[in-house]
Amino acid sequence: PKDPAGSSSAASIKIKKEVANAFVKRQKRSSLYFEYYKSPMEQMHERCENYPPCDYLSDQIGFYTAYNRFFG
């Protein structure tokens, strides 16, 4: 099936795995671990920031107290 503009749809385009790998280079897994690893404290901060009542209260009474009130 073709689009009205004359180009073929993305579903009909297929290339071999070897060809795709020629221009898509992946990073090694070991370097990705350190890139995506977050410390437990950073995870706690993000959890509190994503919950508006905790985020608001952390500005008033401090992060640690606000986090313990909602998630402790």
Tokens 């004359």 belong to 6
pLDDT at 16: 77
CB 47 within 8 A of CB 71: yes
pTM of the full structure: 0.50
How many Å apart are CA 42 and CA 31, to the nearest integer?
20
CB 64 within 8 A of CB 57: no
CB 64 within 8 A of CB 44: no
Whether 71 has a pLDDT exceeding 80, the answer reads yes
pLDDT at 15: 73
Six token digits for residue 41: 């404290």
How many Å apart are CA 36 and CA 8, to the nearest integer?
37
User: pLDDT tens-digit profile of 1-40?
Assistant: 555 555 556 667 777 777 776 666 665 555 555 567 888 9
